[in-house]
Amino acid sequence: MTTAPLARRGRASRHLPLQILLGFLLVYFLIPFWWVIVNSSKDAAGLFGGGSALWFAGEVDYLGNLIDLFSYDGGIYLRWLLNSTLYAVVGGVGATVLAVAAGYGFAKFRFGGRRIGFSVLLGSVMVPTTALVIPTFIMFSELGLTNTIWAVILPTLLNPFGVYLMHIYARDAVPDELLDAARVDGAGELRTFAQVALPMLRPAIVTVLLLSIVSSWNNYFLPLAMLSDNRLYPVTVGIGQWQGIASANNAGGTSLWSIIILGSLVSVIPLVIAFLTLQKYWQGGLAIGSLK
């Protein structure tokens, strides 16, 4: 018997505990998603009829629940989805543009107060965003911007972690010699950034964009505090409002739990599509960032 199979068998036995742990974590994280998929197909009788919570009831009725979801209360769920899309796209793209500009500036330019500014940036990464909601609400209230879309979009434009990620990526991925060569050839700073640095920053840009969009899409506490008109709610706050109505049992004899569960499933589909579409870019960006 050769030594190669023995070596492979030895490596496999050493990795077995890690594989078991990873398998357990995989099941642990997939069970809630599977629960939502299964129970989205049930009506009120199927949900509370005593059957298995992790398997389908006798009647699978995704179509009927979808019709109820998009027709309840004048079809306001579709408006919530569009609001979430608006907040996520505008807030995510805006936060990415600012993060790229600030991160590139910190990495490639020397200016007074640079070290202090970057130290403040690192400190702000440690501050929970929920701790800033009430001060932000007071400031926006004085400006008369509460209960408007800007009360949700403007705070999400600030992404200190995105600036930090762009800084560490631009510092090592964009050689100073290449920028100097472009300047010697007569290119201005804006042209040097757009034609030389920007293509090299693409993996990090996609990563920051995806993280910003997901953060804006899942934002709950900020719009809950800022908005009072339910027509401006994102889908997270809207579903939370339905959950409160269903828990109080004041929906007038209509069980909202089926459409709440299906609404939760539908709300994650855009994020799944975004992850699958941009997977190769954001995985590469995170891996490279972890090596810096």
pTM for the whole structure: 0.86
In Å, how far from its chain's centre is CA 17?
Answer: 31
User: What mean pLDDT comes out for the span 280-289?
Assistant: 59
Residue 292 has pLDDT above 50, yes or no: no
Mutual orientation of helices 202-217 and 76-108 as an angle, nearest 10°? 140
pLDDT of 289 above 60: no
Residue 247 inside a domain? The answer is yes
Model pLDDT, residue 254: 64
In a domain, 46, yes or no: no
Confidence of residue 121 (pLDDT cuts 50, 70, 90): confident
Task: Answer whether residue 57 is part of any domain.
Answer: no
> For 20-31, what is each residue's pLDDT tens digit?
999 999 999 999
Domain that residue 83 falls in: 70-285
Write out pLDDT tens, residues 166-179.
999 999 889 999 99
Amino acid, single-letter form, for residue 238? G
pLDDT band at residue 78 using 50, 70 and 90 as cut-offs: very high
What total number of domains does the chain contain?
Answer: 1
Position 126 scores a pLDDT of: 87
pLDDT score of 251: 58
Predicted pLDDT of residue 75: 92
Q: Assess whether pLDDT exceeds 80 at residue 56.
A: yes
pLDDT band at 59 (very low <50, low <70, confident <90, very high): confident
Tokens of 211: 């993280």
Q: Which comes out higher in pLDDT, residue 10 or 107?
A: 107
Does some domain include residue 217?
yes
Report the 10 Å Cβ neighbour count for 189: 13
- Tell me: the pLDDT tens digits for 87-114? 999 999 999 999 999 999 999 999 898 9
Question: What is the pLDDT confidence band of residue 247, given thresholds at 50, 70 and 90?
Answer: confident
Report the percentage of the chain scoring pLDDT > 90.
Answer: 56
Q: How high is the pLDDT of residue 286?
A: 55
Q: What is the pLDDT of residue 67?
A: 93
Please check the confidence at residue 199 and state whether its pLDDT lies above 80: yes
pLDDT of residue 6: 63
Task: With respect to residue 18, please indicate whether it lies within any of the assigned structural domains.
Answer: no
Whether 33 maps to a domain, the answer reads no
User: So what's the pLDDT on residue 291?
Assistant: 44
Q: Residue 25 domain-assigned? A: no
Q: How confident is the model at residue 5 (pLDDT cuts 50, 70, 90)?
A: low
What average pLDDT does range 46-54 have in this prediction?
82
- We report the CATH number of the domain holding residue 260 as 1.10.3720.10
186 compared with 4, residue with greater pLDDT: 186
**Residue 32 belongs to some domain of the structure:** no
For the chain, the average pLDDT equals 87
- Predicted confidence at residue 58, as pLDDT, reads 77
162 burial (CB, 10 Å; 0-12 / 13-18 / 19+) is buried
For residue 11, pLDDT over 90 is answered with no
Q: Report the C-alpha gap between 96 and 89 in whole angstroms.
A: 10
